[in-house]
Amino acid sequence: MSTSEPLLGIDLGTTNSLVGVFTPEGPQLIPNALGSFMTPSAVGVSDDGTLLIGQAAKDRLVSHPDKTTARFKRYMGTDHEVRLGKKSWRAEELSSLILRTLRDDAEAHLGQTAERAIISVPAYFNDVQRQATMAAARLAGLKVERLINEPTAAALAYGLQDRDAETTFLVVDLGGGTFDVSILEMFSGVMEVRASSGDAFLGGEDFTDLLLSHLAKKSDLKPEKLKAEDYSRLRAVTDKLKHKLTEAPEAGAIFSYKNQAIELSISREDFEEVCVPLTKRIRLPIQRAIADAGLKAQDINRILLVGGATRMDCVRGLITRLFKRFPEHDINPDHVVALGAAVQAGLAARHEALDDMVMTDVAPFTLGYETAMEIKRDTYEYGHFTPLIERNTVVPVSRSHTIFPIKKGQDRIEVKVFQGESPFVKDNVKIGNVTIALPRNKNDLEPVDLRFTYDNSGILEVVAKAMTSGEEARVVIEGNPGAMTQADIEARLEALSGLKIHPREQQENTAFLARLSALYEGLLGDDRMLVGGFIREFEAALHSQDVKLIAETRNALEDPVSRLEAQDVF
Ligand code: ADP
Ligand code: MG
């Protein structure tokens, strides 16, 4: 193996993925075919069966929900498959498509082949999830030199100063859909993850959702009644507003709907107020992590903010108030993990990679059961997921809930056990069930004690005990069913080799056309006519298949298009 062969540093994120390399000038990120460092972790199939990866897939999430998928990192290390059009996909395969795109982008940028990588994974990933990440890399034709914990990567990006000094880090990572808190301890050149905590149901996307409901209520829009395209436009406008608020004290936009121009606006202060239910949930996991590590707030030497959503003022303010000092955030929080992976790649090339270990055993998935919710009197809706052992809980652990039948006189309860991070069981993985007989009782709801016990080997014991009769039902669920065998990987590799992937050279055009359509949908009157003209002009250029003409047309339209785009946000 030649030393000049590049070693990639990859952040394979739930929402966005990035790739970088270490250069003599330090770690550097590599832009994708659209010129962006961030590639959305989304995959879709187009109508002609071609695979769309990244931004183009993300843009179709709402308009083509059954042909597009995202957030599949949550299923790494499980047997859960996602259906896209005609084929079912494992999380490893979907992740491999993202890795392959990153690899193609890196090769195009560096002008040489790149087959080796360091990939970051959440600190709480267990062995099966780490193996799954390696399998994904293998499917993408990449060899994983080593994995690095995401918080460790963040610390590396910020610089360790003295590798032999003892330093305690708190890494707060609020991404698109997950909130992870890690306590790292660095000593004698080794990084240890001392505690890990978080909230698997909290991320930047939840802030967008909440802002959307707030804005909708203010302007008498009923989000649930909107057509998919309209909803997706409203969400895009809301997301833009949310981002804008991190730079300006106020943000506004026009949402055109049914030939009306609806003005949406919000101040940072109001946004903060709206988000209280979410920001409230940030404090507890931080306190828990510090306590789990046996520390006090003042023992923390450095506080690092990671993940796009930590840009929000309300998040920064909260951390500052909690610790009475400012957290470090001078490295772009979207980039920091990938930059750190690239730093590790640089160190590995010199055989100086930082050793990082996970000391705490934690539950890698949330474990819970299905419940029904009373939506109106005597009408129940099944399919809700109630967590009993949350992801990141230190194991071994035993927790119980008291549950009740829905109706009086019911003679049994069937408890369906799931693992996963979605509030709906349909998006989680069913891992077993247990049925408990109840004593006949026409007058009362018979209570059942439901206990989950989870140990270090990944075995879950579920015991349901009818409290009045003392009768018990028990099931033991084997851990780690989700690991792919070598033979599985070979078979999937074979299947993947025949896939049609949307060509890299065309991504820019597809994305530009999508941008024009989005702009068209968002405008009214003369501006809309104007953009309609742009679309026809660009389509004609595409039709000619003349690469030069296409690029010229795109360049010529760039200015008026970005002017019109800027107009809708005041
Ligand atoms: P992940 O680690 O899950 O892949 P990222 O770290 O890329 O996620 O974070 C994505 C989230 O960050 C999204 O919810 C996005 O809306 C949010 N985000 C990015 N930039 C900003 C900003 N300027 N203001 C508010 N939120 C932002
Ligand atoms: Mg991340």
| CATH of residue 212 | 3.90.640.10
DSSP string computed for 290-323: HHHTT--GGG--EEEEESGGGGSHHHHHHHHHHH
DSSP letters for 431-449? EEEEEEE----SSSPPPEE
Instruction: Let me know if residue 83 belongs to a domain.
Output: yes
Please name which of 49, 92, 84 lies closest in space to residue 67, comparing C-alpha atoms: 84
Euclidean distance between CA atoms 154 and 329, whole angstroms: 11
Closest-approaching ligand to the CA atom of 17 = 1
Q: What is the C-alpha to C-alpha distance for residues 188 and 163, in angstroms, rounded to an integer?
A: 7
451 falls within a domain = yes
Query: Is 238 a member of any domain?
Result: yes
Q: Is residue 498 part of a domain?
A: no
Provide the residue type at 478 as one letter: E
Q: What is the number of the ligand closest to the CA of 58?
A: 1
Q: Are residues 269 and 285 in the same domain?
A: no
Distances (CA, A) of 569 to 251, 267, 299: 7, 14, 44
Ligand 1: centre distance to CA 90 (Å):
25
Q: Are the CB atoms for 436 and 448 separated by under 8 Å?
A: yes
Note whether 426 and 550 are same-domain residues.
Answer: no
> How far is it, in rounded angstroms, from Cα 115 to Cα 123?
24
Distance in angstroms (rounded) separating the CA atoms of residues 310 and 388 = 28
Domain boundary among 362, 385, 412: 362
User: 98, 117 in Cβ contact below 8 A?
Assistant: no
Taking the centre of ligand 2 as the mean of its atom positions, its distance from the CA of residue 307, in whole angstroms, is 5
Axis crossing angle, helix 204-218 with helix 276-292, rounded to the nearest 10: 160
What is the C-alpha separation between 11 and 339, in angstroms, rounded? Answer: 8
Nearest CA, atom 12, ligand 1: 308
CATH of the domain at 472: 2.60.34.10
Could you give the CA distance from residue 289 to residue 392 in angstroms, rounded to a whole number? 10
In a 13 Å sphere around the CA of 58, the CA atoms on its Cβ side amount to 18
48 and 163 part of one domain: yes
The closest-lying atom of ligand 1 relative to the alpha carbon of residue 334 is 6
Both 181 and 292 in a single domain?
yes
383 and 450 part of one domain: yes
CA distance 195 to 172: 12
For residue 11, give the nearest of 160, 161, 176, 201 by alpha carbon: 176
Helix axes 204-218, 228-244, angle to 10 degrees: 110
In this structure, are residues 18 and 8 in contact, taking their beta carbons and an 8 Å threshold?
Answer: no
Of all ligands present, the nearest one to the C-alpha of 174 is 1
SS3 568: coil
Q: Which atom number of ligand 1 is nearest to the Cα of residue 306? A: 6
Give CA–CA dist 525/564, Å, rounded. 13
With respect to residue 492, please indicate whether it lies within any of the assigned structural domains. no
Query: What is the whole-number distance in angstroms between the Cα of residue 305 and the centre of ligand 1?
Result: 12
Ligand 1 pocket (Cβ < 6 Å) reads 13-16, 175-178, 203-205, 239, 242-243, 246, 307-309, 311-312, 334
How many Cβ atoms sit within 10 Å of the Cβ of residue 513? 16
Torsion sign (Cα): 430, 436, 438, 444: negative
Tokens of 333: 């929080």
Question: Which amino acid, one-letter code, is at 474?
Answer: R
Q: Which atom of ligand 1 is nearest to the CA of 17?
A: 4
Atom 2 of ligand 1: nearest residue by CA position: 175
Pairing of strands 87-90, 81-84: antiparallel
Residues 185 and 50 in one domain: yes
- Helix 547-567 / helix 525-544 crossing angle, nearest 10 deg: 160
Give the count of domains, the chain.
4
Torsion angles phi and psi, residue 372, rounded to 5: -105, 145
Of 15, 240, 336, 337, the one to substitute when testing ligand 1's pocket (max ligand atoms within 8 A of C-beta) is 15
Query: What is the number of the ligand 1 atom nearest to the C-alpha of 333?
Result: 6
The span from the CA of 453 to the CA of 460, in Å, is 6
Helix (H, G, I), strand (E, B) or coil at 516: helix
β partners of residue 7: 116
Boundary-marking domain end, from 219, 254, 276? 276
Which pLDDT score is estimated for 480? 66
Give the H/E segment covering residue 83: strand 81-84
pLDDT tens figures, 419-476: 988 889 998 889 999 999 999 999 999 999 999 999 877 789 999 999 999 999 999 9
C-alpha pair distances (Å), 508 with each of 44, 159, 459: 17, 35, 47
The residue contributing the CA closest to ligand 1 atom 10 is 176
Distance CA 119, CA 146 (A): 7
Index of the ligand 1 atom closest to the CA of residue 239: 16
Residue 362 half-sphere exposure toward CB, CA atoms < 13 A = 27
For residue 17, give both structure tokens.
Answer: 């993925």
Tokens of 342: 């690239």
Q: 31 in a domain, yes or no?
A: yes
Q: In angstroms, rounded to a whole number, what is the distance separating the alpha carbons of residues 251 and 214?
A: 14
Q: Give the span between the Cα atoms of 16 and 98, in whole angstroms.
A: 10
- Contacts for 59 with CB less than 8 Å, ≥ 6 apart: 511, 514, 518
46 within domain boundaries: yes
Q: Tell me which residue has its CA closest to atom 11 in ligand 1.
A: 176
Mutate which of 10, 11, 16, 39 to test ligand 1's pocket (most atoms within 8 Å of Cβ)? 16
Neighbour order of strands in the sheet with 379-389:
379-389, 367-376, 412-419, 429-437
Which of the residues in the chain have pLDDT under 50? 1-3, 570
Nearest CA to ligand 1 atom 8: 175
* Backbone dihedral angles phi then psi of residue 142, each to the nearest 5 degrees: -115, 145
Residues 424 and 479 in one domain: yes
If asked whether residues 27 and 130 sit together in one domain, one would say yes
Q: Which of 10, 171, 311, 332 to mutate to test the pocket of ligand 1 (most atoms within 8 A of CB)?
A: 311
8 Å CB contact between 199 and 393: no
**E-assigned strand segments in 161-259:** 167-174, 179-187, 190-199, 250-257
Owner of token pair 């000049």:
4
Q: What's phi and psi for 129, nearest 5 deg? A: -70, -35
- Residue 122's domain is classified under what CATH number? 3.30.420.40
Tell me the residue range of the domain where 262 lies. 204-276
What pLDDT sits at residue 361? 73
Do 233 and 318 belong together in one domain? Answer: no
In a domain, 100, yes or no: yes
* Ligand whose nearest atom lies closest to the CA of 178: 1
Nearest protein Cα to ligand 1, atom 22: 243
CA 114 from centre of chain: 26
| Contact in structure between 346 and 340 (CB atoms under 8 Å) | no
Helix axes 486-497, 127-139, angle to 10 degrees: 30
Q: Please confirm whether the linkage preceding 364 is cis (ω < 30° from 0).
A: no
Q: Are residues 197 and 314 in the same domain?
A: yes
Angle at 310 between CA 251 and CA 121, to 5 degrees: 140
Same domain, 285 and 255: no
Q: Final residue of a domain: which of 362, 389, 413? A: 362
CA–CA dist 531, 446 (Å, integer)? 64
Pair (521, 398) in one structural domain: no
Query: Which residues are part of the catalytic machinery?
Result: 11, 73, 150, 173
